[in-house]
Chains A and B, each alone.
Chain A
Amino acid sequence: MVVMSLEEEYDDQATVFYREYAGRVQGFLISMGCDRGLAEEITDDAFLAARRRWAHVRDLNEPAGYVFKIARNERSKRQKDHDCRAKDLHPDPYGAVRAAGDDLAQIVADRAVVRQALRQLPARQREAIILRDVAGLSEAATAQAMGVSVGSVKRYTSEARQKLRLLLSEFRRQQEGNDR
């Protein structure tokens, strides 16, 4: 008879959890400015840490919030914000659109603008909107990941969205002006 040990069972559960959330954790880290290699490394470490405390983590209301929190703290330890603010900006998102002029180019350009705009947001707003809208976490999970209240998450997110909306419409107005 094959009896699965508790450890093996936990490994399996943690792997399911990994498959569900690893992409999002990594997406969060990359949006926060990590390069891909560092993002992969931190992502795997965060899930390993969750596995080590699996008996507690699996019973949490927001297990995803837990793993994002570890990833978030690890990122801020290993990468200073100024490293990721300036680099990796698209040199000319407007130009790319004017050259191609089709929908795909519009999408690419919008994303480039939003990425750039994200980097200009205050740290907490940036983090909140990336966790909520890029990684797709709930408000409660975001609150746990950031170690703040749900009310603060709402405030940071709505402030960030408002700024991004403004920047994006501003960009499109300029773009229309250039196209004429």
Chain B
Amino acid sequence: MTGDEELGAILAMLCGDLDDAELDRRAARFRGALRRLRDDPAEATRIDALAADAGDDPTVVSLVTHAEGGDRDAWAEIVERYAPLVWAICTRFKLSRADAEDVAQTVWLLLVEHLGKLREPAALSGWLATTTQRECLRVVTAARRSGQRGTWLDRALQFVDDKAIDEEILLAERNAALPEALAELPSRCQQLLSMLLADPPHSYAEISTALHIPIGSIGPQRARCLERLRRSNALIAWAQEEPRGRGQVHDSTDGR
């Protein structure tokens, strides 16, 4: 029987290291390629794609793994990397600086609790984006409760066409008018929206199974249901109580 060491020696020889002269030549060529990379955006794009293709971001996976194991540096790096993302979302919701800071703090605390449950560490940015939006909406909703309804409605409707629609519905859900508005919708829409409204939201795969809708049709159906929701008597009536919101809703319905 051949021993491990002997096998190791044979395998190590297969590598065939570059000798010094070859290495010098190659390193010089590498420097040349680095310079070209700076002047040639097309080449830079091609090279960047290699990293992206390597299974999104291996950096994130190792950061999450280390942070989960209690590595403070990994934690600091995650916060440093993703703070701009969290901040950008807060800005989109036009939060005040103090509110944005509150939201950011809440998001990081939630992440501490959630880190071990991230099934796919590479999905970290998605999780952070969703959670931040949800927290932003919570703040915006709280502001509305304390009497700033018009501003709130502006924001709510402004986001209805946006991709991050789940959170917008979540926001609207807290509106007293919404249950009525939902009740006006066909039952399929009610089912679909209520699944999308669940916290945490159901995945498209779950919705597809539960409601027997192909995954590809969920998006379009959701859009149609939302459009009906916006046109519902309950929501329009509610919006008319508030002059600033009225224009928005009428624009979106008159335009059809």
Does A135 lie at the interface of the complex (its beta carbon under 8 Å from any beta carbon of B)?
yes
Are the CB atoms of A169 and B1 closer together than 8 Å? Answer: yes
Closest residue of chain B to A167 (Cβ to Cβ) is B2
Min CB distance, A153 to chain B, in Å?
14
B53 in contact (CB, < 8 A): yes
Interface assignment of A142: CB less than 8 Å from any CB of chain B: no
Q: Which of B17, B18, B34 contacts A11 (CB 8 A)?
A: B34
* Distance A49 CA – B53 CA, assembled complex (angstroms): 11
Given that A23-B15, A73-B53 are contacting pairs, would A48 and B33 also be in contact in the complex, using a CB cutoff of 8 Å?
yes
B23 lies within 8 A of A23 (CB): yes
Closest residue on chain B to residue A14 by CB atoms: B34
A180 contacts chain B at the CB level, 8 A cutoff: no
Asked if B37 lies at the interface with its beta carbon under 8 angstroms from chain A, I say yes
Residues of B within 8 A of A (CB): 1-4, 7-8, 10-18, 23, 26-27, 29-31, 33-34, 37-38, 44, 47-48, 50-51, 53-55, 58-59, 61-62, 66, 77
Q: Residue B27 contacts which of A19, A46, A51, A74 (CB distance < 8 angstroms)?
A: A19
Judging by beta carbons under 8 Å apart, are B37 and A48 in contact? yes
- What's the minimum C-beta distance from A89 to chain B, rounded to whole angstroms? 15
**Are A165 and B62 in touch, CB under 8 angstroms?**
no
| Size bin of chain A's contact surface | 35 or more
- Partner of A168 from the list B2, B27, B53, B62 (CB cut-off 8 Å) is B2
Q: Which 6 A-B pairs have the closest CB atoms?
A: A27-B15, A133-B11, A23-B18, A49-B50, A49-B51, A23-B17
Residue of A nearest to B71 (CB): A61
In the assembly, what is the distance between CA of A168 and CA of B8, in Å?
Answer: 12
Q: Scan residues 80-127 of chain A and give those whose CB is less than 8 A from a CB of chain B.
A: 107, 110-111, 114-115
A114-B30 contact, Cβ under 8 Å, with A22-B18, A69-B55, A169-B2: no
A61 to chain B, nearest CB (A): 6
Which residues of A sit under 8 angstroms from B54, Cβ to Cβ? 49, 69-70, 73-74
* Chain A residue at smallest Cβ distance from B11: A133
- Jot down 30 A-B pairs with beta carbons below 8 A, ordered by A: A11-B31, A15-B34, A22-B30, A23-B23, A26-B18, A27-B15, A27-B16, A27-B17, A40-B26, A44-B29, A46-B50, A48-B33, A48-B47, A52-B44, A53-B59, A61-B66, A74-B50, A111-B13, A114-B11, A134-B14, A147-B55, A147-B58, A147-B61, A161-B4, A164-B11, A165-B1, A165-B3, A165-B4, A169-B1, A172-B2
